[in-house]
Structure 1
Amino acid sequence: MAAPVVSSIAPTSGPTGGGTIVTITGTGFTGAIAVGFGSADATNIAVASDTQVIAVTPAGSSVANVTVVTAGGRSAINPAALFSFSAPAATGGATPYYIDPALTSTIVGSLVNVLSAQTSPDALEAQNILMRRLALEGDVVGSRVPPPRNITEIGGYLNILGELKEGAMREQTLAGILGVAGPLQAQGFISNATPLSMVALPNDRPAGAAQPSIPTSAYVRSDFVSAVQAALKTLHAAGATLPLIGPSVITLPKGGPGAAVPANVLAYLGRTLNIAPQTALAAPGTDPIALIRASGTTDLFAAAANAINPATTPVTPANYDALQCTATTKATVPLAAASFVPLAPVLGAAGFYQASPPPQPANATDLAWATFGNVTGLVAGETLLGDELTLLHRPDAIAASVFASLLNAVWNGATFV
């Protein structure tokens, strides 16, 4: 095994008492067992990679050559890797208003050892944060701002938090000042990862006047993807399509004074499918989607996909009445020998259902008919809104949302109360 090579260090100086965190860059550091600062070894080391080692300086004086020791031997002395020990600058006897608490070598070593022995996702993320901070900043605590000395400085800090839209942190700060219990914050390290996500599927964009306005992707919650794909396969086999609309990222409505809870909570849980409304109600005979009922009946109109494309499992034609709407009016038009696939049974097999009874639009701007909801896995009297929100949203986003005070709301079979 070849000896390691040290190419540079940062920082290049520190106090004689030791305790400076130094990042050593070079090659062959895998399995490093010691870092030397002259004749003394570092009090603690952490091997970040084959090209980077982090070490805590021992006490020293003057200038020391920095070397790394592995099973292949000790690295050669490099004039570009010299560490200068120097006494702290005199302060003239005046005690500064605020001294940032430095980490001792013992604390750093213990922290590194604890984290390196853990394998949980939170611990791995903590390792990444710590190593990145040590490599870029040379410390862990040094970025903390001094505590405010008076009410003016407190106001300034609160204003900054408001401008940065850090609502949860601002509320917690105010609670601390007032000596009352603040909003419950997530414990440990906040991760960007959530158990579920919104997944992009290729969207149906049938030819026609509405095609340019139909998005190229349809977004479905990750645990519902396979069921929705099966529904689309059924419709495509019949020569029908299902154009959908919806956001790629679901953003929770902000909380605060006067903020109202949305009526359709399922939409913020990724539990809805929305048919592109521009694909229906204009020309039922050729629109991709229509609201139909059996000809000559008084049944409620129900959403159906128009089977107007070549099919491997053709639909038997029948006579229907269909809704035709403008922005202010609606009318019933007859359709003879038309082929439609009712959406209720197809989407129901995927877990998505319309409201019951099916909404009947009064005009083209009445869009309730286009939404199908999914309540799969929601147990009446047991499922909590907070548990559902955490499947798709970060804890800090939930804490800043209109749902923050409703996390213990329970599903009653129709909504969370």
Structure 2
Amino acid sequence: MSTPSVSDAAGDALVLALTDVIKGASSPEIQQAQAMLLRRLATQGDVIPSRIPAPLNITEIGGYFNLLTDLRESAMRKDMLGAALGLASFEPVDIGTGGTVPPLRLVQIANDRLPSPAGDGVPLAVGVREDLAAGMQAALADVRSAGGHLPLWGPPPALPAPTGGTGPTPDPLPYLGREVWVAPTAALTDPATDPIVLGRASTDAGTGYRVGIRVADGTAGGVSADWVGLKWDAIGGAFVEADIGTVTLLPLEAAVAATPFVSRPIAALPPARGDYAWARMAAVAGLLPGASRLGDELGLLWTSDRIAESAYAGHLDAVWDGVAFV
């Protein structure tokens, strides 16, 4: 068995060093180079080794060449020559650039999934804008340390396709990494056991409802009181209140108080099982009413080609009015 030469070892060390630089760098230019390298590898590189053995001499190469000529496989003949010489495919492939790399990205936060049925429909992770993610991750850790669970829901990490005029344009805030929901399946089934309760404490003023997280007694910010929780009455087709006794629940607005995300109580019973306004947590800091454009916000996270192919392509001039992009 041959021993690698000093030059081979030096070359390998250089390649490893360059690889570490590419992997560790986070500037937009390096991210764009990473994306280009991956596209080249997928379209032009030797991703899967050839099934035929490497030719030992020019005669074997000639045999392959003549065989493919007889079969009139001119394209494969070019690829065979390239593979024999250790080159990428001769076929021109437009790898493109995918657009300028955005300055921010969606950070996938690992989710707090529970056994069924509370865990049904809960994704493995949810996307949050990079500069907003740290606070939410810390809040989830605090909830877990208090013995609670806060499973989240968010849309898939891809911009929605055009609706074709058959429906309303999806709310862009989740795709801007500015909105996540409490996983609806974690609540409204049985408030006596659900990890998440939509209800109110006996100490609350008024008649509205808020989201509470079941936590251990003595948790800072937790409310130990007689709670009323909502549950869905499938027979009556409406929400009903159920007394759940004295329990300790951490109000959602307290759990996320140190984050950019805000949870707001609701004033009345949700009108339908599929109305999830109560689960919404939005981070709108930095959006200036009358000035912030949807196209500019999308461009912070998505490449221009993805935006052009999305449901928002015709709404890039929509302006934030304090509640929505209109």
Q: What's the CA shift string for 1:306-337, capped at 9, x where partnerless?
A: 11x57765845211222121341221112322
- Residue of structure 1 aligned with 2:190, choices 283, 287, 294: 283
3-state DSSP of counterpart to 1:402: coil
Give the C-alpha shift of residue 190 in structure 1. Answer: 3.2
Counterpart amino acid of 1:404?
Answer: A
Selected match of 1:222 from 130, 150, 158? 130
Distance 1:273 1:403 in 2: 19
Q: 1:240 — aligned with what?
A: 148
**2 CA distance for matches of 1:196 and 1:358?**
36
Q: Distance between the aligned counterparts of 2:264 and 2:113, measured in 1?
A: 25
State the secondary structure of the residue aligned to 1:389: helix
Equivalent residue for 1:73? none
Match among 327, 334, 350 for residue 243 of structure 2: 334
Residue 298 of structure 2, aligned match among 375, 381, 389 = 389
Q: Which residue of 1 aligns with 2:283?
A: 374
Residues 365 and 405 of structure 1, relative CA distance in 2, 3 Å threshold: closer
- The one of 333, 339, 347 aligned to 2:256: 347
CA contact (8 A) 2:118 2:194 kept: no
User: Deviation per CA, 1:265-298, whole angstroms, max 9, x where unpaired?
Assistant: 2122221111111111111121110112133864
Decide whether aligned partners of structure 1 residues 404 and 202 sit closer, same or farther in structure 2, where only a CA change above 3 A counts: closer
- C-alpha contact (below 8 Å) 1:380/1:413 kept by paired residues: yes
Alignment length (residue pairs): 258
CA shift for structure 1 position 391: 1.8
Amino acid of the structure 1 residue aligned with 2:283: N
Structure 2 distance, partners of 1:123, 1:351, is 29
Bigger radius of gyration among the two:
1
* SS of residue paired to 1:224: helix
Higher RCO, Cα 8 Å, sep 6+: 2
Which of 298, 301, 312 in structure 1 is aligned with 2:209? 301
CA pair 127-282 structure 1, distance change in 2 beyond 3 A = closer
Instruction: For structure 1, list consecutive stretches of 5 or more residues without a partner in the other structure.
Output: 1-26, 31-48, 51-118, 145-187
- Superposition pairs of residues 199-210 of structure 1, within 5 angstroms: 199-206=107-114, 209-210=117-118
Out of 380-389 and 263-272, give the one that drifted further: 263-272
- The alignment's C-alpha RMSD in Å is 3.9
Q: Distance in 1 between matches of 2:90 and 2:179?
A: 48
Give the letter for the 1:382 counterpart: A
Give the structure with the larger strand fraction.
1
Q: Distance in 2 between matches of 1:323 and 1:408?
A: 40
What is the SS of the residue equivalent to 2:256?
helix
User: Whole-Å Cα distance in 1 between the matches of residues 265 and 213 of structure 2?
Assistant: 19
Structure-2 separation of matches of 1:381 and 1:375: 14
Specify whether residues 316 and 343 from structure 1 end up closer, same or farther in structure 2 by C-alpha distance, changes over 3 A only.
closer
- Aligned-residue sequence identity (percent) comes to 31
TM-score normalised by structure 2 residue count: 0.65
Q: After TM superposition, where is structure 1 displaced by more than 4 Å over at least 4 residues in a row?
A: 119-135, 309-314, 355-359
Which residue of structure 2 lines up, in the alignment, with residue 318 of structure 1?
225
What is the CA distance between 1:368 and its match in structure 2? 2.1
Q: Distance in 1 between matches of 2:227 and 2:159?
A: 40
Task: Choose the corresponding residue for 2:104, options 196, 203, 223.
Answer: 196
| 1:12-411 equivalences in 2 (<5 Å) | 136=88, 189-191=97-99, 193-206=101-114, 209-211=117-119, 213-254=121-162, 256=164, 258=165, 260-262=167-169, 264-295=171-202, 298-307=206-215, 309=216, 313=220, 315=222, 317-327=224-234, 328-354=237-263, 357=266, 360-411=269-320
Q: Which has the higher helix share?
A: 2
